[in-house]
Amino acid sequence: MGVLNVTPDSFSDGGCWYDADRAVAHGQQLIADGADLLDVGGQSSRPGARPVPAAEEARRVIPVIERLAAQTSVPISIDTCRASVARQALDAGAQIINDISALRADPAMVDVAVAAAVPVVLMHMRGTPLTMQQQTDYGDLIDTIRRFFDARCAWAVQRGIARERMVLDPGIGFAKQPERDNQRIIDALPRLAGCGCPLLVGPSRKTFIARLTGNETDALDDGTAAAIALAVDRGAHLVRVHNVRRMRRVVAVARSIAYL
């Protein structure tokens, strides 16, 4: 899954693809580099990020999705917590909803997902991007995430979302302590795979990697490659990355070893 942030303030590439023409060109490059999915977002979810109005979020992403959907058959995911933005994105050609709130932020989101019958990514997070790093104390982190997944899946099924349309994301970097929690999640993916849905893992260029490698892009991508390889080995079905060309090679080698 290639990341396409149409924002001025995302943690890794804020402002790089804020212009619609540049965003579309970057999306095309991600596809050329081998992305199987594109994840388009117009609201930064970095720690401390404040929400933008729904109209502004839609203004950023809808033209980009419309143009990319007309040019490619690669599925497009809309990264949003808002039902109104998701609905417009699906009308524009998106085929997946990636909701970091796991359908909790907007009560109408589940209705949009059910009506469209599209895959939905449910992510573990406490609080919001603005408050999440103040809520990082856990007993058993992995058990907490697993119980969260079980509860959200059951809730979604009761409201009409088929289990086979659900993808689970443990939320690397979201309400997690960068000193240890993100590493624990990757190591414990086999315990989370028991939930019965595909796992999406997104360690790309996150803070825990920067603390180990430094903030230079090449160093971040080296660290991301290690995290991605280990995630694949431990059962990740999808990985969300910024550098598709490089990480696709990493995944190819990791899969060849992990699935002998």
Output the domain CATH number for residue 214: 3.20.20.20
Q: What is the mean pLDDT of the chain?
A: 94
Q: Enumerate the active-site residues.
A: 206, 240
In a domain, 70, yes or no: yes
pLDDT score at 179 = 83
- State how many domains the chain has: 1
Phi-psi region of 214 (alpha: psi -120 to 50; beta: other; left: phi over 0): left
Angle at 70 between CA 250 and CA 8, to 5 degrees: 65
- Per mean pLDDT, which range of 5-19, 134-148, 155-169 is the poorest? 5-19
Q: pLDDT of 50-61, one tens digit each? A: 889 999 999 999
Taking alpha carbons only, the member of 64, 69, 103 closest to residue 83 is 103
Q: pLDDT of 210-227, one tens digit each? A: 999 999 999 999 999 999
pLDDT score at 13 = 58
In a domain, 223, yes or no: yes
pLDDT score at 223 = 97
Question: How confident is residue 17, by pLDDT bands cut at 50, 70 and 90?
Answer: low
pLDDT at 181 over 90: yes
pLDDT at 136 over 60: yes
In a domain, 188, yes or no: yes
User: What average pLDDT score do residues 76-95 get?
Assistant: 98
In a domain, 260, yes or no: no
pLDDT at 186 over 60: yes
From residue 19, how far is each of 15, 50, 87, 90 by CA, in Å?
Answer: 8, 20, 22, 21
Q: Whole domain around residue 51: which residue ranges?
A: 2-255
In a domain, 196, yes or no: yes
pLDDT at 260 over 60: yes
